């Protein structure tokens, strides 16, 4: 069941969902909360070994995304003039807002793109929209309260599109989980941010 704007506000008020900064009334639609783009972006370059482009294998037991990013990622900052997202390119971005879904709150969420960007061919959070119950929580660090969402962004349209820091980039759709999870999400992407 998807929460309405009233139920999202009630979840925020009781701490079952945390969004920082707290969304204003303009950020809420009937069934979603709009989120904005942070100024940090990450571009990935094709891995090259001994001068030869090579593939990566996420099924390899030695594969680590964080190591791949260290070697082949380029972190950039959106200037005040914006950043041109070239047609046919892929990059990672983050939300300005930080999210926490305490696993005992019986809530999970999905990140979906904005139709205004989709009509230009911009996909946001491509193929990985689920925000699991327990996201934004560190098991061994009670002081850790929330996490930005990392966005997998692809421009599959024919136009180069200028992105601006702070622009509305996606929407959070909050859903009720049937039953209380035994544990929160503890996957390797449970803590995200421009430097992780």
Q: Which residues contact 173 (CB under 8 A, 6 or more apart)?
A: 2, 31, 32, 109, 110, 111, 112
The C-alpha atoms of residue 125 and residue 42 are separated, in whole angstroms, by 14
What is the b/e burial string over 16-38, where b = at least 16 CB atoms within 10 angstroms of the residue's CB? Answer: bbbbeeebeeebbeeebbbbbbb
Cα torsion through 183, 188, 189, 194, rounded to 10:
140
Q: Which residues contact 52 (CB under 8 A, 6 or more apart)?
A: none
What are the residue numbers of the active site?
A: 152
Q: Which residues contact 73 (CB under 8 A, 6 or more apart)?
A: 42, 43, 44, 45
Long-range pairs of 138-145 with CB within 8 A, sequence gap ≥ 24: 138/190, 138/191, 139/184, 139/186, 144/191, 145/18, 145/20, 145/98, 145/100
């Amino acid at each position: 069941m998807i929460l309405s704007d009233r139920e999202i506000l009630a979840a925020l008020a009781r701490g079952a969902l945390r969004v920082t900064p707290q969304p204003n009334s303009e950020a809420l639609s009937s069934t979603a909360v709009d989120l904005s783009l942070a100024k940090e972006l990450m571009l990935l370059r094709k891995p090259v070994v001994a001068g030869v482009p090579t593939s990566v294998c996420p099924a390899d037991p030695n594969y680590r995304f964080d190591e791949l990013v260290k070697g082949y990622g380029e972190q950039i900052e959106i200037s005040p003039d914006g950043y041109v997202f070239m047609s046919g390119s892929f990059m990672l971005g983050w939300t300005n807002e930080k999210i926490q879904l305490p696993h005992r709150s019986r809530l999970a969420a999905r990140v979906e793109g904005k139709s205004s960007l989709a009509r230009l061919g911009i996909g946001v959070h491509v193929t990985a929209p689920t925000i699991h119950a327990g996201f934004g929580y560190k098991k061994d660090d009670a002081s850790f309260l929330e996490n930005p969402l990392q966005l997998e962004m692809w421009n599959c349209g024919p136009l180069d599109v200028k992105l601006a820091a702070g622009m509305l980039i996606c929407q959070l759709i909050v859903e009720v989980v049937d039953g209380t999870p035994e544990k929160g999400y503890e996957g390797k992407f449970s803590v995200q941010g421009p430097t992780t």
